[in-house]
Structure 1
Amino acid sequence: MSAKPFASSGDLTAKEQTLEVLADGVYALTAEGDPNVGAIEGEDFLVCFEALATPVAAREWLARLREHTDKPIKYLVLSHYHAVRVLGASAFEAEEIIAHDNTRALVAERGKEDWESEFGRMPRLFTEPDSIPGLTWPTLTFSDRLTIPLGGNRGDLELLHCGRGHTEGDIVAWLPQQKILFAGDLVEAQAALYTGDAFHREWSSSTLDAVAALEAEALIGGRGAVAGGRAAVDAAIGQTRHFLDVMIREVGAVQQRGGTLKEAFDAAHAALVDQYGQWPIFEHCLPFDVSRLWDELSGIERPVIWTGERDREVWDRLQS
C-alpha cells in the first residue's frame, strides 16, 4: 500500500475560485492551484481559453463569465491536449476549437488513455464525468502562429507555439496591445510543475526564452495566481525554469553515476521540497515528472503513454 494517497485522489476539498478582470474584456478565473481558464472579448464575439475537465464544470465557469458579457463564443483555444483542459469543450458551443497541429495528433494517439489517467489522478476535477460526450477534437490547427483580429480598438490575439515544453503541442495566447499572456502550463505561478509529457531541456531553455521575450506585464499560468507586473511575470517564468533545471541536474547526476530511478526521485525530491513542497500538486506530480525525465535523459525522445495501470506502477515504485 502507498504511504500517501494516490496522486490527487485524496484532495477532496473545494477550491475558492477568483474571477479577475485584467483589462477591458480580458478575464481570468483562478482557483487555488486548480486549472486556470480565461476569456477575451472581441468586438462582437468571445475567445475562451481552456475548457476544464467536464461540460458541467465548464458551465459553472461560463455562468460566472456571463455576469460580464453575453457575446457569443466564436473560438475556444486549447493550450494542449490534457483531459482536464479539454473534455469540457462541448459546453462552449464554439464555432471553432483551436489547437496546435501536434495537439490534434496527440488526441488521436493517446487522448483516450490520458482521459483514463487524469480521471484516476484527479477525480475531484471531473464534476459529473458522465456529461463528457467523448474526446475533444480541434477543428482548426496551426503550426507556428495564428492571429485572431479582435475588431474595434481591441487589437489582435496572437496564438503562438513557442516550442516543445509541457507537451509537444503547447500554445500560448498573447495580447500584444494589452501585454497580457495566457501561458497555459508552460508557466506556473506558485504551483508545482507537471512534466510527465514534457521535453525538459527544450522547455527550460529555448521555449521559456521565447515566452520571456514577449515581455508580458500580466501572465496567467496553467495553475496558480495571476502574475501582475513585470517583476511577478519574471518570477513565475524564473520559478518554472528553476524547477526544471534542478530536476535535470539531480536526475542527470544519479543517472550518470549508474543509480536507480528511485534514487533519482529521492534526490530530486530532496532538492525541491523546501522551496516547492507546499505548493499545489507537488507530491502528486513529482513521481511522474522524474519518470519522464529519466526516460528523456535515457534517449527516449517522446513520452511514453500514461495509462491508469502505468500511473499506479510508477506511484507505488517511487512514492510508497
Structure 2
Amino acid sequence: MPDSTPRFTEVAPRVWVAHYDWMHVNITLVGGSDGLLMVDTHGSAAEARRVADDVRRLGAGPLTGLVNTHEHWDHHFGNATMVEQFGDLPIHATDWAGEHMEVSARHTFERYEQDAADPRRDEVLATTLQLPTHTFSSAVQLDLGDRSVELIHPGRGHTAGDLVVRVPDADVLLGGDLVEESDPPFIGDDSWPLEWPTTLDLVLGLMTDATVVVPGHGKVVDKAFVQDQRFDLGVVAETIRDLASRGVPQSEALAQGEWPWDPALLESAVRLGYAHLPRGHKRLPLV
C-alpha cells in the first residue's frame, strides 16, 4: 500500500521541508506562481523516487527547478530521478560544485563498490549522475513568478562550493551543510575549518532574529543556533592558530587544545587547519 503520510511540512509561507531518516537529509520546496523549486535531491535514485512521490502528494504545483547546495553525493544523487520524473529541469549549483561533482561522485561510487556489507550499496551504485546545468560564482536570483529566490556562495566552509538559499519574503534561509543540526557539523577532508566561521558571519548577515533556518541535515533551527555553531567553529579555528603559532605540532594538537567538541571528531579539522595556515603563522615545533 502506498505511503499516505504527509512528508513535506510548511515551515513558512509556501516553503515546505521534508526530513528523511537516512542521513537525516532535508529536502526543501519553495513555491512560486510558476511552480516549485527543490533544494537538494537526496542520496540515491531509489530515495529520490520517494521524494518525487512526496512532492506529488503535497500537490502544491509543478516542479520547475532544482538546486544542489554543494557537490556531496547525498545532496544531488537524486537529480537524474527528478528529471526522469518531472521532465527537463534546470539544475543550479556553484561553479565549484559543478566542476567537482563528477570527481566527488566517483569517490562515492568507489567507496560503495568496496563495501559489500553496506545495505545501501546496490541502491547507491544503481544511481545515475546528473550534473548541474546552471552554475554561478557568487550570487544569482531565480524568478519563481510572484517570488524571487537568491542563491549565494558566501565563502568556503563545509566545502569550497557551498551555497545558501534565501527566500526574502518568507524570511527563510536554507543553509545546506554550512549549518547542521548536530555538534559538531561534519568537517570532512574537503572542508575549510579556518574559513568556515567567517563564511557563517556572512550567512548570519542575511538573517533577521526571526529567520527560519533549514540545515542540510536535522531539525529546522534559528539564528541563535547558527550563532552558537559559528562561535564553536570559531573556537576551533582560533585554537588551531594559537597552537600552531606556539609551535605545537599537529600530532599533539588534539591532546593539547581546549576544544568545544569531542577531539576525536576534530581530527580532519586540525589536519586541514594546520595545512591551510600561512607559513608565517607556524613556528618550529616545541622541543
TM over 0.5: same fold? yes
**1:112 CA displacement:** 1.7
| Equivalent residue number for residue 76 of structure 1 | 66
Q: Partner amino acid for 1:272?
A: P
Distance 2:114 2:233 in 1: 25
Segments of structure 1 that go 5 or more residues without pairing to the other structure are: 1-16, 228-232, 300-320
**1:131 CA displacement:** 2.3
| Equivalent residue number for residue 297 of structure 1 | 277
| Equivalent residue number for residue 144 of structure 1 | 138
Distance 2:76 2:70 in 1: 8
2:236 to 231, 242, 247: 247
| SS, match of residue 41 in structure 1 | strand
| SS, match of residue 21 in structure 1 | strand
Distance 1:71 1:129 in 2: 29
The answer to whether residue 260 in structure 2 is matched with residue 272 in structure 1 is yes
**1:211 CA displacement:** 1.0
The answer to whether residue 202 in structure 2 is matched with residue 210 in structure 1 is yes
Contact 1:188 1:236 in 2 (8 A): no
Which structure carries more relative contact order (alpha carbon 8 Å, separation 6+)? 1
Contact 1:191 1:223 in 2 (8 A): no
Alignment of 1:38-187 (within 5 A): 38-69=28-59, 71-93=61-83, 94-116=88-110, 128-134=123-129, 136-152=130-146, 155-187=147-179
For normalisation by structure 1, the TM-score amounts to 0.72
Q: 1:107 to 1:35 in 2, by over 3 A?
A: same
Contact 2:112 2:125 in 1 (8 A): no
The answer to whether residue 205 in structure 2 is matched with residue 225 in structure 1 is no
Segments of structure 2 that go 5 or more residues without pairing to the other structure are: 1-5, 280-287
Distance 2:59 2:183 in 1: 30
Distance 1:117 1:257 in 2: 38
For normalisation by structure 2, the TM-score amounts to 0.80
Per mean C-alpha deviation after superposition, the further-off stretch among 240-249 and 177-186 is 240-249
| Equivalent residue number for residue 247 of structure 2 | 258
Contact 2:109 2:124 in 1 (8 A): no
Identity across aligned pairs (percent)?
26
Q: Partner amino acid for 1:21?
A: E
Q: 1:266 to 1:65 in 2, by over 3 A?
A: farther
Q: 1:114 to 1:28 in 2, by over 3 A?
A: same
Q: CA RMSD in A?
A: 2.9
Per mean C-alpha deviation after superposition, the further-off stretch among 125-134 and 45-54 is 125-134
Q: Tell me which structure has the larger Cα radius of gyration.
A: 2
